[in-house]
Amino acid sequence: MAWVYYLRLVDTKFQADCLVKRFEDAQGWLYRSMPRYVGIYQTQRGRYGVKVLW
């Protein structure tokens, strides 16, 4: 399995957490299988993103 990175970086961890919640809420109707892990990562420049492991 490989990581899938959501193609949007945000400035704060709170914004990234909101993206995670939105992604998890959309799982029921948008995707057929649930991912094993959805998490937040931080880039070297200090921005945050969402990563998913199927």
Domain ranges of the chain: 3-53
| Amino acid present at 39 | G
* Cα–chain center distance at 38: 5
Query: Which among 52, 45, 38 has a CA at the least distance from the CA of 10?
Result: 45
Tell me the two tokens of residue 15.
């914004």
Structure tokens at 20: 């995670």
Residue identified by tokens 């961890």 is 13
Residue 32 has a pLDDT of 63
Count CA atoms within 13 Å of residue 29 on its CB side: 3
| 1-54 residue pLDDT tens | 677 887 789 999 999 999 888 877 765 545 566 777 889 999 999 999 998 887
